[in-house]
Structure 1
């Protein structure tokens, strides 16, 4: 930094020199160091000149980096010093492309590495705030992939740790990608690891459940998700033949299968939303895909006892059951419900899909799904809605339903075990 002898040095430069002379941090100088950092933080709001001085001072940034990210000292740095130091970095880059480039060059990799480390807290949001401002400023090229990967990792930590930390800027970063990113976001998504893609999709499901609070998901991203599901849905169901006996298994530990499941969850949520329903009106290939998959699952569930076989026995679903609850973590859990939910949404006021419903003889499968299945919560309710939407405005399907013959109540082991008859519950007293 060139400061002529006849010119008074800017206050930010003076403060930096004072900070460097005080190092290393100890119990005697902690308050003085804190005062210098606070002063520098506040100067950033006065004039961009101070931001540039701070961002361009190599020795100051080297010491700040050591303090924040790789401090090997036996002396524990007070949390208030670390917090003010992070706030200083954040203030130094506000609306200043030059300081953004310099700060990210010196600290960017460490910010990405540290932002998702538990426990999450106030420092997490400040690190994300720095990342967001640099991302939106556009002064640093080729950081989008890095930012999306880091944000997904933060979301993974939130879910794994069940953290209640407020990470406001995490949602701002995701908004940048899912609302405005479009084609670029699709490219960055494709370069995530399989587990990161699954976590990104889980974030989208959470976003949809909250009615898209920061804006509509970009239509190109939704279309890409549909395309990816159509490609990867066959990985969910893996059919194997043993002689003349056909069976089916799910690649339980297969990431492609789990990604296909995650893609389906997004589609099930989005296709039923008023914001996105119209985007699926002409997705006939999607309707045919989910219908075919549902029929396959129903068929293989009957062939042998497997993970697609409905759980309808009381001994299987009771809280006192000896049967492991591991099935709730399998890809098969809630899979039929999601498929029927998609079908119900895609049939709504859609004459073309109603025609495909007739052509593919989907109705009998939907009727079978109205029976209870502990593997698929709310399957009955979604099946009833799907049948209703199939019938709505479609005389052909209405006639098919009208011409069916009532042969009595469907067999249900739980109803039999509970002695349910005509809506009454008869409990046998224990006389033992």
Structure 2
């Protein structure tokens, strides 16, 4: 019995019948190759036949590229091309024998040329888009775990295919192209990207546009971040928004569940140089945010993210030592902290403190937390480093840090449940007293500071980092301890807030007495 005829394909209103025998045979092969036992026993002659059909159908696409009026006659050819790619794609799944057989027929070169022709057509048709996607899937599968195929794909695809597809409006095409790039890259080929930075930049842009796609993200984490040379060359060419995207991924790598390896540390030491230099050069860009029209300034946001990266880098003990001695870094951090602190007090702007409490995560503008992160970085840089401890004192940084301990809605609070909130609130208040008043001995300050940092409590993030910074400034440093002990009493940071929380403070001689009014609200 004769095989049933397939319904004719419709394209631009023209009915064009497909060559039924070839199409149905290809569909049958595609289905068979879903099973591994059929893939491993497939004869080489089958792939030659599929390639012949692919080449024949390619001529119709070439003609349409030269003469746009021929596009309406592409329906049958696009059907065949799509099924050829599906068949070859399935044949390559976890089967190096088929990958090698198909590669040795020069199918990769034909496929790449055809994909590039698809982009030249510049028409929006579902059938064309499907063929485009299947072609990229085939290239990804033939290169998977096959170094010889990866090499041939790279020879044919770089750079034109990546330049053409990474910025394609169809997100699946971007994802499949990214898969090919990820699979084909190795340390040697990273040098090619250094000479074609637009491809690397397109990957950053692809992740920015399609954050749900794993392939651009993996290219950046598993390839780009392992090449300090590429990152440095690329960083100066990126837009500020693209820089934020790259820096966010760098933070994700630093704070991820997987601990950095020795090789990672060596590489991130190189990144640390770029990040620290960039921050030292650009940190004053954040001052633009004191003017209301610039509250969404992308350059300032990129600078804020540089600070975030530095905070995470200095939280790693193996990276900390390098940044503790980085020229000009401590001076710049204190300089910016002083400027935004004074500016926030003298005028009403984005850095002006607010006297309300807000849960962490309720972000209203990009500068929230910037000041607390400056203090966090100072604390990290002073960790067991007497030279930096003394430098902060010499730069009049200690009073600046202590004066930053007021409740500030722009450096929000951590709100977490604890079965004994009264004890935690008391702990927070005691810590505040030791910081803001001269009566607290430095050892007591360190004790309460350490307890606070190890507790989950209702405590402003700014307050936490002030405690942490003071602890690191005074550890084994009698000069800084004496300096804080001799400071003039400044008064409570926010007495009204204490009253709201059910506490009152009385002064008796040189002592401060904390009293409860028995009306402590829940946290």
The two structures have a TM-score, normalised by structure 1, of 0.77
Alignment of 1:219 with 2:302, yes or no, is: no
CA shift at 1:119, angstroms? 5.2
Distance in 1, matches of 2:399 and 2:307, equals: 22
CA shift at 1:418, angstroms? 5.4
Alignment of 1:178 with 2:178, yes or no, is: no
Partner residue in 1 for 2:280: 230
CA shift at 1:409, angstroms? 3.1
Task: Check 1:273–1:249 CA distance in 2 against 1; reply closer, same or farther (3 A cut).
Answer: farther
Paired residues of 2:370 and 2:411 also in contact (CA < 8 A): yes
Distance in 1, matches of 2:383 and 2:329, equals: 14
**Correspondence for 2:234 among 185, 188, 195:** 188
Unaligned runs of 5+ in 1: 1-7, 240-246, 320-324
Partner residue in 2 for 1:157: 209
CA shift digits 1:278-325 (9 cap, x unpaired): 2212125111111111112211122122222110146xx599xxxxx8
CA shift at 1:367, angstroms? 1.2
Task: Check 1:310–1:363 CA distance in 2 against 1; reply closer, same or farther (3 A cut).
Answer: same
Q: Secondary structure at the match of 1:333?
A: coil
**Which of 260-269 and 408-417 deviates more?**
408-417
Partner residue in 1 for 2:419: none
- The structure carrying a bigger helix percent of its residues is 2
Partner residue in 2 for 1:285: 328
Paired residues of 2:203 and 2:216 also in contact (CA < 8 A): no
Alignment of 1:107 with 2:161, yes or no, is: yes
Q: Secondary structure at the match of 2:494?
A: coil
Task: Check 1:131–1:74 CA distance in 2 against 1; reply closer, same or farther (3 A cut).
Answer: closer
**Correspondence for 1:414 among 497, 504, 523:** 497
CA shift digits 1:205-264 (9 cap, x unpaired): 22212166563343122111101110101111259xxxxxxx877843433322211111
Alignment of 1:359 with 2:394, yes or no, is: yes
Alignment of 1:391 with 2:426, yes or no, is: no
Task: Check 1:158–1:368 CA distance in 2 against 1; reply closer, same or farther (3 A cut).
Answer: farther
Residues 41-52 of structure 1: matches in 2 within 5 Å? 45-46=97-98, 48=100, 50-52=102-104
CA shift digits 1:148-168 (9 cap, x unpaired): 213312331345xxx3x5x15
Task: Check 1:200–1:69 CA distance in 2 against 1; reply closer, same or farther (3 A cut).
Answer: farther
CA shift digits 1:343-364 (9 cap, x unpaired): 1101111111111121112111
Residues 283-362 of structure 1: matches in 2 within 5 Å? 283=326, 285-313=328-356, 328-330=364-366, 332-362=367-397
Task: Check 1:405–1:103 CA distance in 2 against 1; reply closer, same or farther (3 A cut).
Answer: closer
Task: Check 1:222–1:309 CA distance in 2 against 1; reply closer, same or farther (3 A cut).
Answer: same
Q: Secondary structure at the match of 2:352?
A: coil
Tell me which structure has the larger Cα radius of gyration.
2
CA shift at 1:147, angstroms? 3.8
Paired residues of 2:204 and 2:220 also in contact (CA < 8 A): no
Task: Check 1:87–1:313 CA distance in 2 against 1; reply closer, same or farther (3 A cut).
Answer: closer
Distance in 1, matches of 2:100 and 2:379, equals: 56
Partner residue in 1 for 2:139: 89
Q: Secondary structure at the match of 1:143?
A: helix
Distance in 1, matches of 2:119 and 2:371, equals: 49
The two structures have a TM-score, normalised by structure 2, of 0.65
Partner residue in 1 for 2:484: 401
Task: Check 1:368–1:19 CA distance in 2 against 1; reply closer, same or farther (3 A cut).
Answer: same
CA shift at 1:177, angstroms? 2.3
Paired residues of 1:248 and 1:306 also in contact (CA < 8 A): yes
Paired residues of 2:355 and 2:407 also in contact (CA < 8 A): yes
Residues 111-122 of structure 1: matches in 2 within 5 Å? 111-114=165-168
Aligned-residue CA RMSD in angstroms? 3.7
The number of equivalent residue pairs is 392
Distance in 1, matches of 2:93 and 2:122, equals: 21
Distance in 2, matches of 1:137 and 1:107, equals: 20
Task: Check 1:419–1:306 CA distance in 2 against 1; reply closer, same or farther (3 A cut).
Answer: farther
Paired residues of 1:65 and 1:107 also in contact (CA < 8 A): yes
Partner residue in 2 for 1:258: 301
Paired residues of 2:407 and 2:493 also in contact (CA < 8 A): no
